[in-house]
Amino acid sequence: METKIGIVQDGWSLPERIFGNRDRMQGLHLMRAAAAHLGLYGNDLEETFYPNCLSDSDGDKLDASKYNYVITFSKDRLPPVDPRGFWSLTMYDKDQFLVENPLNRYSIGDRSELKYGEDGSLVLYLQHESPGASKESNWLPTPNGEFKLTMRIYIPLPEGLDPLYCPPPVQKAGEISE
């Protein structure tokens, strides 16, 4: 028996309704087991949506020992969050641990002091070394190796759930020279 927990699009895993109360999850034993494995104590989809990045726009594993990366949100593609909520993007190493870094920054989001483009777009820099002082406000430091990303959208807007919101793809921004 196969249990579908979501879809994969543009390198992001978009989990559907995998968490819920006892009544909602009644009889869905495989789904409950998968949800517990992925994130014990997760919230209902209407409370928090958890896209996870699996690969870059080329389908390759995320590896900051080889590449620098960016995520570019156009103004109309920012995470769809209710004004009472917020969104964040958290950096993990390949073993799902937070990544030590010189900024002591482990996540970045709409409550961070970000710099937006004149057109309302947002570029986030995902790399091991600083992208430069003028871009550090939008830098989420990576380990010097493989990494994973989890976005959390707390109180997503209904239009972000049907269809499920997919963040922009993570794109290579330059190869690391040795």
Residues 152 and 89: their CA atoms lie apart, in Å, by 6
What share of the chain has pLDDT > 70, as a percent?
79
Residues 151 and 52: their CA atoms lie apart, in Å, by 6
Q: In terms of Cα–Cα distance, which of 122, 9, 22 is closest to 70?
A: 122
CATH level 3 topology of 47-175: Jelly Rolls (2.60.120)
Count CB atoms within 10 A of the CB of residue 176: 14
Q: pLDDT truncated to tens, each residue of the chain (178 aa)?
A: 444 567 889 999 887 655 666 666 666 556 556 555 555 556 666 788 889 998 999 999 999 999 999 999 999 999 999 999 999 999 999 999 999 999 999 999 999 999 999 999 999 999 999 999 999 999 999 999 999 999 999 999 999 988 899 999 999 998 876 6
Coil, helix or strand at residue 38: helix
Beta carbons within 8 Å of 139's beta carbon, 6+ residues apart: 103, 105, 108, 124, 125, 126, 127, 130, 131
pTM of the model: 0.87
Map out the domains of the chain as residue ranges. Answer: 47-175
Residue 85 pLDDT: 97
